[in-house]
Chain A
């Protein structure tokens, strides 16, 4: 046996490197007034003005085909924008999901009407999407979802609850997976819809996380009438569509850069100390970062070639979450400072990241689910 993984090194083109300097220049100006806490939140941080500026630069939908209003550039070039924004702590949260997966889904499965009506707003950084997958009794076991969409003439009547919906309160749309029929195969009978969240029968309730932030929501559908033409893709093909979406959701640099700012701040702190232990630990984390980046970039390269790197994406996401969860602990060990929301910059970063780090191995597929996927790839199940 050889390993089932296909990681091949992929290099950035000169064009991508030119784009990198443009992004750095843009960010040095655009981030001037962004508070430190927001920077530590990276893609949990949302700022609509910032998203609009990114849209004006033409950096949303960068790798979408030109016929859909994208720039027709490569996934590798898009990767440059993402990693530069994340390491600079840009508040990309508002447009992040639409750019990463809702837009690509609409391009792949949407009707011409969906594309004409919805893509321009995404590209401008004005129209935001959330993902409606999890439910109260359907977390890792996605196929257990129960929210029903029953067809009546030219509408679907939706009843049920979506849970842990990130950013629903600031999004206009949800791409939701509902049950349209009961099938013997539990993966059957699922369908995806584009739901306008301003429709009657939609209630969005905040769920406050352990850090006191409003990020998650509970979205309740009560006899909500979704026009039948807002079904996206094929009725009953939801499972396959969602699975394809997950490869996009799991492969990006946001899966290992969430705590990056702490490593950069440690470099800063240890510049003025003579501390071999700290310096060695910093170097060790650099080695992890360098390697994860090469792995993640390799996945972007595979996307450019039209491959489906779902297995490799799971490997990167699992290792990435371990790395980004470990950094707050390392920062604690090396600095011995109390995480304090009102303390020094370092203490404030530490306060945020220590608290939000448990989510890194939950969101977008739990550690156990990812390892199950890897085990299947190894031929163990």
Chain B
């Protein structure tokens, strides 16, 4: 019971965090470029990385099964039983880096190969989604 309450509280907090994270309208691309030019740090908050449509935007295609209230697509498999499905984190990182290497007709963008995300960002995302 306590556990369930805790989980509910956690997901409520997460939702709140999601709600306040930037949802990336078009002008943000320009803002990002300026940020980079100004030497601002690379975004490393995994909750932002999975939501922002100029970054990972994982939720556009993948739902977080334990967070059904977070808007997410159904194009890719949901994030569920991740540790069981990916005992080897390197495999998960490789998918995010370039799934086309493994599945040439996938719709999944090659985030690493095409420099949408840095190796560190991919690592942070892998760690984050492995908890689901």
Bind each other: no
- A-side residues, CB < 8 A to B, are none
